[in-house]
Structure 1
Amino acid sequence: MTLKLVIGNKNYSSWSMRPWLAMRASGIAFEEVFIPLYTDNKADKDRILSFSRSGKVPTLVDGDVTVWDSLAIIEYLAERFPEARLWPESPAARAHARAISAEMHSGFLPLRNECGMNLHRPVRAVALSADAEANVARVQEIWTDCRERHGKLGPYLFGAFTAADAMYAPVVHRFRTYAIKASPQVQAYMDTMMALPAFAEWTKAGLAETLVIEKFETV
């Protein structure tokens, strides 16, 4: 039975991007179900609810199993498809990858609020609050630490592509869109992510979307 991944607008939906990228980059086959977000169309809202009572995307449907949170989806996929190697093989590296993924999942609210994902937005800097600047510094610290520890194994955070890269992928877009100054090592990692075929596929599709959500067009 084919897995279904219910997602929102690729231009805006950073949470949808995370499991989508994890699946596409690791070769897990799935059917993409797109439902536009923040429309006045009750049918769209009802359709989301038909997949998940949370009323939110992304949602993964695997037969009788429904999972409706980005990180929970990735954890489910890691167990369902161990050959995809969504987490590093080493227990220490795996714990590290899970820790930074959970930190992304639950934190960085100032950066998210002040630099919302919007692929269509012209690249330009904005004045960030001290809290958002602290978030930027922390992200760069995480990426730099991972690359220094695992750089010999490959170009991603833990050498090979893992769920941790998928969890931070929308931040790569945010750094680019809002012209956030990055260290050379961080920029090299961003370039690696932007060159990933699955990342490029999502970006191309997001740029092709025409639906504008005004609440996300504030800066």
Structure 2
Amino acid sequence: MQLVVGNKNYSSWSMRPWVLMKQAGIPFEEVMLRFDAFSPDSTFKRQLAGLSPAGRVPVLLDDGFAVWDTLAIAEYLAERFPAKQLWPADTKARARARSVCAEMHSGFTSLRSHFPMNIEAKLPEIGAKALAEQAGVRADLERIVTMWTELLREHGGPLLFGEFSIADAYFAPVVMRLSTYAPPLPEAVTAYMARVQALPGVAAWVKDALAEQDFLPFEEPYRTKR
């Protein structure tokens, strides 16, 4: 298997399946395509053209067969490796895990927009400004806090559904966003974030992200506009 990803410092979508496969012990070869721009004629887009009709990362290649979109990749891996138990074993817990992943997949647009993933950066002043000025960010953050708190309470931790699952991989980029922008959070949430960051799969991604040292101005609006 090959997993095609973008820059690890910035690519939240790529982080999800990479962490999932690494943490679950599913062997794969990483193919990293550097972000250069998002115009149709960019090198990044040309490299992706032969891999995925969607023209986005991540892409999973299984003996040449392409699967794109993070939820599709997660479901494919769960079916391909049932012994890994990537979703919770309980039917209702599995349905809830799928629900919160789908909610993340299609929502939280304000948080995505105002808290873009930038693992290397520490931007608490930007986080405070966004919270003060953007009702959507406050609503998204409140929903994340409520969701995580309820799941941790219901399933007893240490992770959202007890043991590591697709849900934790799916929310790992959110953990990194909250770490970068440092909004005030309850203790149960910060403790969960620390546990996620300590997972070997997450720690390996973060280590690679910090080693990139690849500053991309179009991914750094809060710095380039100063």
Smaller-chain TM-score range? over 0.9
Residue aligned with 1:101, SS? helix
Cα deviation digits, residues 125-157 of structure 1 (max 9, x gap): 321211111000000111001000001xx4110
Look up the match of 2:72. Answer: 72
Bigger mean CA deviation after superposition, 36-45 or 198-207: 36-45
Q: Distance in 2 between matches of 1:177 and 1:95?
A: 30
Give the drift of 1:64.
4.2
Match of 1:30 among 25, 28, 31: 28
Look up the match of 1:100. Answer: 100
Matched, 1:134 2:139: yes
Report 1:1-219 matches (<5 A). 3-39=1-37, 42-126=42-126, 127-128=129-130, 129-151=134-156, 154-219=157-222
Bigger mean CA deviation after superposition, 47-56 or 184-193: 47-56
CA contact (8 A) 1:144 1:186 kept: yes
Residue aligned with 1:161, SS? coil
CA contact (8 A) 1:144 1:185 kept: yes
Give the drift of 1:49.
1.2
Residue aligned with 2:175, SS? helix
Q: Distance in 2 between matches of 1:203 and 1:56?
A: 21
Q: Distance in 1 between matches of 2:144 and 2:202?
A: 19
Q: Distance in 2 between matches of 1:133 and 1:192?
A: 24
Residue aligned with 1:54, SS? coil
Give the drift of 1:42.
4.2
Give the drift of 1:65.
2.2
CA contact (8 A) 1:125 1:180 kept: no
Give the drift of 1:83.
1.0
**What TM-score do you get using the length of structure 2 for normalisation?**
0.91
CA contact (8 A) 2:36 2:42 kept: no
Cα RMSD of the aligned pairs, angstroms, is 1.4
**What TM-score do you get using the length of structure 1 for normalisation?**
0.94
Q: Where does the alignment leave 5 or more consecutive residues of structure 2 unmatched?
A: none
Give the drift of 1:124.
1.7
- Identity fraction in percent: 47
Letter in 2 for 1:156: L
Q: Distance in 2 between matches of 1:146 and 1:158?
A: 7
Residue aligned with 1:10, SS? coil
CA contact (8 A) 2:122 2:180 kept: yes
Count, aligned residues? 215
Residue aligned with 2:66, SS? strand
